[in-house]
Structures are given as C-alpha cells and as structure tokens.
A = this chain, B = another copy of it.
Amino acid sequence: MSELLVKSPLFTDLYELTMAAVYFEREMFAPATFSFFIRRYPENWRFFVACGLEEVLSFLENFRFQEDELAYLEGLGLFKPEFLDFLEKLRFSGEVFAVPEGTIVFAGEPLLEITAPIIEAQLIETFVINALCFGTLIASKAVRSVLAAQGRTVVDFSARRTQGIEAALKVARLSYLVGFAATSNTLAGKLYGIPVTGTMAHSFIQSFPSEKEAFFAFAEVFPDNTVLLLDTYDTLAAAQKAVEIAKRLESRGKRLKGVRLDSGDLVSLAKEVRRILDENGLSYVKIFVSGGLDEYKIADLLARGAPIDAFGVGTKMGVSADAPYLDAAYKLVAYDGQPVTKLSTGKKVLAGAKQVFRFEEDGRWQKDLITLREETLKEAKPLLQKQMSSGRRTSSPKSLDEIRAAFKEELAKLPPELKSVRPKPAAFYPVELSQRLLSLQQRLEEEIKQRELAA
C-alpha cells in the first residue's frame, strides 16, 4: 500500500506553512492539541466506522521534507531561509490518541487527538482530515450494504467509477474491512490480500457470433468459475441458454456457479430466472445481481422477495453517492497547556484533550460519555488509545483480517435499531458530555466574550 499513496508533507494547504512560519518567527513551539470529530450524520446514518488511522500513522512516521520540496518552497519567495532550514530538520515528534481502525463511533465524538509542537500539529492537518474523512466515509457507507443484504454476499464492483485510482484501492480495502466478501479490483486484491472475483461483460458476449457461443467459450475455460451475464440481449432467453451450459458442465462433473442480472426489473427477472433454473434441477446455481445498487435498493429487492444470493455494489458505495463527504473537523482544543475554543456561528468545538467512555450491558452498548482526558471511569471502556508517542507507533499495525474480525464483533454490540437502512427519525445513540467538560466549555466561552467582544 505505502508505495502507491502520496505521503509528501507538501500535501498541505499553503496556509499551514505560512502560519508555521509565523509560529517559527515568534518562537511558538509549545504543544498544541487538535481534535478530529464528525459534526453530524448524513441522512439515515446513525453511526460511523472510524477508518484512515493506519494511513495517518504511516504519514506521521515518515514525515520529512525532501530537497526538491524545500527548493519549491524557496522558489515561492514567501519563506526565510531559517524557516526552510527548520523544515528540513522537522520530524513529527508528537503523541496520537485515537480509536483503533474500524471502531464504531458517533457524531460529535473525537476519533483522534494529536498533541505536538503547534507547527507539527498544524502542518499535518490537511492530510489527517483527508485520510480520516475518506476512510470513515466509505467504511460507514459500505457497511450499510452489508447490513441491508442480511447475510448474503456483497462484492465491491466500484473500481471504474471511484474518484481516482487511489480511491478505488482504498474503497476495496474499506468495504472488505466492514464485511464485503471480495472485490473486482485485481490490484487491490494483490495489495491487501482481499479475495478477487468477477463475472463477464456485455462486450464479451458481443464479440462472439452468438450469446450461446460466448457462454460455451467461457464455461470451457473456467468450468469452476463461470457466472453467466444474462442481460445483453434478453434476460429470459439467456436464462434458457444458461440451463444448457449448466447441463453441459454437469456432464463434465462441474457446476455452473451462477448467473448475473445487470438491468431491467430485477425482482421479476430474478424470480423468473430462479424458476427456470429450479425447474431444470439447477437450484445450486446462484443469482448474482448488479447495476446501480446501494443499501436502499438491496433492502427493497429483498423486501419484495427477490431470490438473490449475491450483490455487486459499485458506484453508489464507491463514491458514497448520497453523502459524498463528511462534515468533519480537526480543531485546536488546547495550546501550551490551556484549553481553547471558538465561537464561530454553528461550528462549536469542545475544548481540551478528551476521552470517550462506552457503557456496555449484556453485550450491547448503552451510551457513550465524552469526558476530559484526565477523567477516569471504572464502569466503562475508554475508546481512545495511545497510538503514537514521541513520533513512534506504540504498537505494530494489525492485519486487515484482524481488523475485519474485530469489526464484526463490534457490529454485534450496536443497538439493532441503529442498523436499519431507514432508521426511525428519533433513534439516535445517546452521547453525553461529562459535567467537568460542560463546565470548562461554559467558562471558556464566557472568557472569550469578555476578552474579544468588549473592545
């Protein structure tokens, strides 16, 4: 993974560098704490799957300006040589508290807090937000298809429509992490060790003199792995041809793996095709469906009784089509030992380094409590863990399969009413603030009003 993704510290908004130059000039090297959190849920979402931490840690470990990057900055004519010398030597030396990759979290909760000399904590902002936002966005979107499919197989088909190639690789990894069975993206299969899968395209059928010949040819080369695409010309006519192919495979001691429907009225077609297959003793042949699917369509297909065994989910998951970004922020919450906040309209920030405690009863989560970091609670589990200390990871990264298994256990503890594709409007997981956090917030807001607005 690492060699394919951009890791340059120059991936930062220019203002991070100009602000850093001012801090440098003023010798402001005190530690700052920044907190990353998601402000609100997209419609019908009730939880997030925090992802992207692995990328962040890897970026921080390797944080180092290269010669050509410093030369570029010099050429901008904005920065003094002393500052560029400082950047050349700069490494990330801070501390990272964060929830582990794949943790289920809720709106308003800090997922990650970084404490480091303010220049370091500021320069990494652009990368940190991008990585955590996109990772969390896609994992949270993808698990909705897994939940909608109620145990049926779901496969990532998004590679051709994601927002870039890197995005496609990340989507394959993230969707697998939350329970997808496989991806069509071969490079992702190689990079992350994800099972790869696929069927056939319309163009394949069209390049043969007839549909039947195309089916024959494929089944001959891949007798154990044939899923016939039925909708190039006429789905039901093609289903009859699939029966022939299946019989021919049976005569060789093989079994047709499945058929795929990619357009038309998928409910009635799936029922008809299932009937044709069953009438011919082919109840083992799976029906695979694709074509503009998302969690809503999956839920509706199943609610209408479509006999579907597996779903290929592409574009709408891969770009999180109905919610293509998260309203998230990475905000300063303490500087030089003092908690800080701001008053911008509608964009409040909880001051101070924080912790989130989760209360569980009988294997089900009851509520979360956001506290100051220094508060301790015996009866609940703290979610943010120290991931990095003095710029070094505190533990080695977990494998994708370990994260996937841990996520599956997590998901079982989430209250069921939050797992619905269309949850009740009032069904939200309770997230509370500790009394100490509330008092601090109130005191700081008063102080700001007196200091800044009195003038």
Contact = CB atoms under 8 A, between A and B. Distances in A.
Contact of A344 (B13, B202, B344, B448): B202
A320 B331 contact: no
For A198, A225, A448, the residue with the greatest tally of chain B CB atoms inside 10 Å of its CB is A198
Contacts of A455: 237, 240-241
A164 interface: yes
Given A197-B14, A343-B234, A203 B264 contact: no
A18 B198 contact: yes
Interface stretch (A186-194, A361-369, A394-402): A186-194
A37 interface: no
A422 B430 CA distance: 41
B453 A342 contact: no
A15 B201 CA distance: 7
Interface in A333-367: 335-336, 340-347
B331 A321 contact: no
A302 interface: no
A129 interface: yes
B233 A15 contact: no
Given A15-B200, A21-B221, 9 more contacts: A10-B186, A17-B186, A18-B222, A162-B163, A202-B342, A211-B452, A233-B452, A316-B325, A321-B324
Interface of A: 4-6, 8, 10-19, 21-23, 25-26, 28, 32, 34, 68-69, 72-73, 76, 78, 118, 122, 125-127, 129-131, 133-134, 137, 157, 159-170, 184-187, 189-190, 196-207, 210-211, 217-218, 220-222, 225, 231-234, 237, 240-241, 262-264, 315-316, 319-321, 324-325, 331-332, 335-336, 340-347, 448, 451-453, 455
25 contacts: A5-B166, A6-B165, A11-B185, A15-B199, A17-B186, A25-B217, A68-B190, A69-B190, A73-B186, A126-B160, A130-B162, A130-B165, A133-B160, A134-B162, A163-B164, A163-B167, A164-B166, A202-B332, A202-B344, A206-B332, A206-B340, A211-B452, A233-B453, A263-B345, A263-B347
